[in-house]
Amino acid sequence: MGTSATQRNRKSSKVEKTVREKVSRRSEALDSELRQVLDSVAQLLVANGYGFARFGKLARLSFVNAAKSIDQDKGKRISKARIAALTGLTRTQVSQLLRHEMKGSNRPFDTENRPLRVVQGWLNDSKFLHPNNSPRRLQFKGGDSSFSHLVRKYSGDIPARAMLTEMQRLRIVNFDPQDGVILVRPRPRVSRKTLLAMRAISPWAKLLTTTDSTNRLGEVSSKVKQVSLTFNSLPQLLAAVRELEHRRIAFVNGLEQLDNAKPTSRNHSLKISIAVAAEKTIRRTKHR
């Protein structure tokens, strides 16, 4: 009897170890895939001066909203404590995020990255303003009204030279060693390409999250084939885009004809998403 019990314990321990290893491998794989997604998104955001603090708060709000949807199908109102347990946030953070959401503000958060904190100091601190409250032209080095002092006061531990380089990259300021630093605009412009890229990502992510989790056979796969085409003129490119659109419509119509299930017997479903991305190369001319 003792030997049999020992064998069962060994077998149980082996099964538990296998399960733990499988869970660990999937967690690591999830981290790897998520890292690739975030790397791509971060490249778009950083290029446009979008700070991590703002992204972090939006991410926390998204986690709270995801937690709120867990028990929606049961008609239950989820508690702040359960949201905190699901997301890893504190109850205080959850309360703050829920209050912000209830206000329905169009601006998600006031948290900005460091260059924009410097700009806010420039626009609101009397040391850096003219009597009419317009921003002054600042010498890079000098006294309490210099750009270096402004950066020390509002950006923390970022050196003034590094901050100037970043603000020039974002086209927030112009700099001339003789004339000093001039504020050009209060915040960087978000490129149209970045906005379109995020709009293209959003529907794909939404499609994947609507997959029925109760269907054990349901799997989502991604098979991507990128084809690069070149054209001698913009009209040729536009003609190709129109042709692709016609083919997309025809393809979708053909897919819809495959749907032969009766309305009362829809036990299995297949969702298909199609995307066409076109990039226009702009020839830059040298300014004389």
Least confident of 116-125, 150-159, 262-271: 262-271
SS3 label, residue 146: coil
More confidently predicted of 288 and 49: 49
pLDDT per residue as tens digits for the range 146-198: 999 999 999 888 999 999 999 999 999 999 888 799 999 998 888 888 888 88
pLDDT per residue as tens digits for the range 219-258: 666 666 777 888 888 899 889 888 988 998 898 888 888 8
| The two three-digit tokens of residue 122, written as one number | 């420039």
Domain parsing of the chain, residue ranges = 2-103, 114-183
In angstroms, rounded to a whole number, what is the distance separating the alpha carbons of residues 54 and 149?
25
User: How would you class 116 by CB atoms within 10 Å of its CB: exposed for 0-12, middle for 13-18, buried for 19 or more?
Assistant: buried
How far is Cα of residue 157 from the mean position of the Cα atoms in its chain?
26
pLDDT per residue as tens digits for the range 121-143: 999 999 999 999 999 999 999 88
More confidently predicted of 196 and 75: 196
What mean pLDDT is predicted for residues 69-96?
Answer: 85
Q: Which helix (H) or strand (E) holds 246?
A: helix 234-256
Annotate 169-184 with DSSP letters as a single string: HTTSEEEETTTEEEE-
Q: Residue 135 carries which DSSP code?
A: B
Question: Looking up tokens 């601190």, which residue turns up?
Answer: 125
Q: What is the pLDDT at residue 275?
A: 67
In angstroms, rounded to a whole number, what is the distance separating the alpha carbons of residues 146 and 31?
45
Nearest Cα to 198, choosing from 54, 43, 65? Answer: 43
What sign results for the dihedral spanned by CA atoms 110, 112, 115, 117? positive
**pLDDT band at 284; cut points 50, 70, 90:** very low
What sign results for the dihedral spanned by CA atoms 192, 196, 202, 208? negative
What is the model's pTM?
0.66
| The two three-digit tokens of residue 99, written as one number | 């209050």
Length of the chain: 288
Q: Which helix (H) or strand (E) holds 115?
A: helix 114-124
In angstroms, rounded to a whole number, what is the distance separating the alpha carbons of residues 170 and 36?
25
CB under 8 A, 24+ apart: contacts of 185-188: 186/116, 186/119, 186/123, 187/49, 187/116, 187/119, 188/48, 188/49, 188/115
Does 35 score more than 50 pLDDT? yes
How far is Cα of residue 203 from the mean position of the Cα atoms in its chain?
13
More confidently predicted of 39 and 268: 39
